Amino acid sequence: MATTLPMIDYEKIKKVHDAPLEEFYTSGHRTCQGCESALVMRDFAKASGPRTIATGATGCMYVANTSYQTTPWVIPWMHTQLGAGGASAVGMAAGIRALMRKGKIAKEKINIINFSGDLGGADMGLSGISAALQTDYDLLIILYDNESAANTDIQATGLSTYGAVTTFTPSGKKRRIMQRRWKKNVAPMLAIGHPTCRYVATASATFPALDFMNKTRKALNVGGPTFIHTFDPCPKGWDFHPGYSRELGELGIKCGIFPLYEILDGKVTYTYDPHKKGRIPVRDYLVKQGRFAHLIDEDFDYIQGMVDTMWEEWELPGIAPIKSGLEMASR
């Protein structure tokens, strides 16, 4: 059963001065100085407006947002368990649909937005998110990716960059690099595997300006289950001065290590297209973070090589690790 509720027709924010002024996620959260994930919360709440319910899986943004019986949320917000992001969104959407069917609440569009961190969303909660994207409910799942389990003092996850120092992957004398996994491509995995999910995007809270807010609005306008993966530089875990968190996000996108795109009904549009705008060396991005302080030239070359492969050899550049020239096994 597809939804028959009236949709909220969100307008695209064209100029920075047109961004809504009112906050629905406001001051008084115990996040780090210069936290980009807090900006993701602020921007999606601002873009979606007051008729929104947020659910958050355990992670930095849950613990920081409930500093002992206080909250910065203006919109209703619910905490759920670490891997339960997708399930909580489905449950909430189903509950609201049932209440509307029974006439207990007015029939109107209520946005359901779940945010899960990279451990809660991409590692533990991946199956739940996958299941949520197979439903016909209107829900948006935001994966805020600070590349570690940052709440518990930085443990490696499936989304940590190759070579990064975390509490699980310290650099040692015998083995310089302990994080030897390449970053998981969550957004394309979900886009390719879920035809019911019409809109998948990647974004960064601050670069390009307004991009994340507009992607949130687009996802809500498209309706059905949708997914956005955001790239959030984390001053604590990546070890850089908090003042530079915007700059790090911009460099990460410009060097191509985090591709920026949206996939609407199977059609890919690059928000920042390195084929047109070029890529800066990955090194420029890596050397500005303490977590890569142990890397040597060899490692920089390896990471650069992997990023080059992403953009030059993959069938969907930067997105899907499938190379052209594959033939059927029975040739």
Partner 1 sequence: MIKRVEVQYRGVFQKTLGKYIGGDIVQIASRMGKVAFSNGRYSDAPERNGIPCKYFAFVSPDLSEAELEAECGSSYNADNVDVSVVVDDAMAQGVEPWGWHGIRPVNEKVGHKACLLVVTRRNHEHLLRFTAKKPQPYRLATLEGDASMAGLWVFKDDLTRERCLGAVAAVDPGIISIEAVEEYLLDTGKDADRARAARDAYEATLRRIKVVNPDQGIDWPHEIPVLPKWHEFEEGGVAIPAVKRGFKLGPRGQNRNDGFKHGTSKTERPVVRFDLCIKCTLCWADCPDECFDPTDDGLYDINYEVCTGCHKCADVCPVKECIVMVPELQFEDEKSPWEQHKKDPAGYIQWAEDKKGSTRIRYRHVTGEGVEKYKATPVPRNMDGPGQKEAL
Q: Which stretch binds partner 1 (CB under 8 A): 57-65, 133-141, 174-182, 216-224?
A: 57-65
- What is the rounded distance in angstroms from the CA atom of residue 252 to the CA atom of residue 244? 12
Q: Which of 109, 162, 189, 246 binds partner 1 (CB under 8 A)?
A: 246
Residue pointed to by tokens 């949206």: 262
Q: Is 76 in the site for partner 1 (CB under 8 A)?
A: yes
Q: Is 217 in the site for partner 1 (CB under 8 A)?
A: no
Type of residue at 19 = A
Residue pointed to by tokens 């955001």: 230
Phi, psi angle pair for 243, to nearest 5°? -65, -20
Q: Is 11 in the site for partner 1 (CB under 8 A)?
A: no
Q: Is 73 in the site for partner 1 (CB under 8 A)?
A: yes
Per-residue string for binding with partner 1, 262-301, x by CB under 8 A? -------------------------xxxxx-x--------
* Residue 93 or 205 having the CB closest to partner 1: 205
Nearest CA among 86, 2, 75, 3 for reference residue 42: 75
Minimum separation from the CB atom of position 191 to partner 1 (A):
28
User: Which residues face 149 on adjacent strands?
Assistant: 155
Type of residue at 252 = G
* Residue 13 or 220 having the CB closest to partner 1: 13
Q: Which stretch binds partner 1 (CB under 8 A): 63-71, 118-126, 194-202, 323-331?
A: 63-71
Minimum separation from the CB atom of position 80 to partner 1 (A):
12
Whether residue 245 contacts residue 31, with contact meaning beta carbons closer than 8 Å, is answered with no
Whether residue 204 contacts residue 245, with contact meaning beta carbons closer than 8 Å, is answered with no
Per-residue string for binding with partner 1, 79-118, x by CB under 8 A? ----------------------------------------
| Residue 206 CB contacts under 8 Å (≥ 6 apart), including other chains | 36, 39, 212, 245, 246, 249, 250
Count of beta carbons in the 10 Å neighbourhood of residue 279: 18
Nearest CA among 78, 186, 75 for reference residue 129: 186
Q: Is 244 in the site for partner 1 (CB under 8 A)?
A: yes
Q: Which of 136, 153, 308, 313 binds partner 1 (CB under 8 A)?
A: 153
User: Which residues face 111 on adjacent strands?
Assistant: 52
| Cα torsion through 167, 173, 174, 177, rounded to 10 | 40
Binding to partner 1 in span 22-51, by CB under 8 A? 22-36, 38-39, 42, 50
* Residue 179 or 185 having the CB closest to partner 1: 179
Positions that interact with partner 1 (CB under 8 A): 16-17, 19, 21-36, 38-39, 42, 50, 60, 63-64, 66-77, 151-154, 165, 170, 206, 209, 235-237, 239-247, 287-291, 293
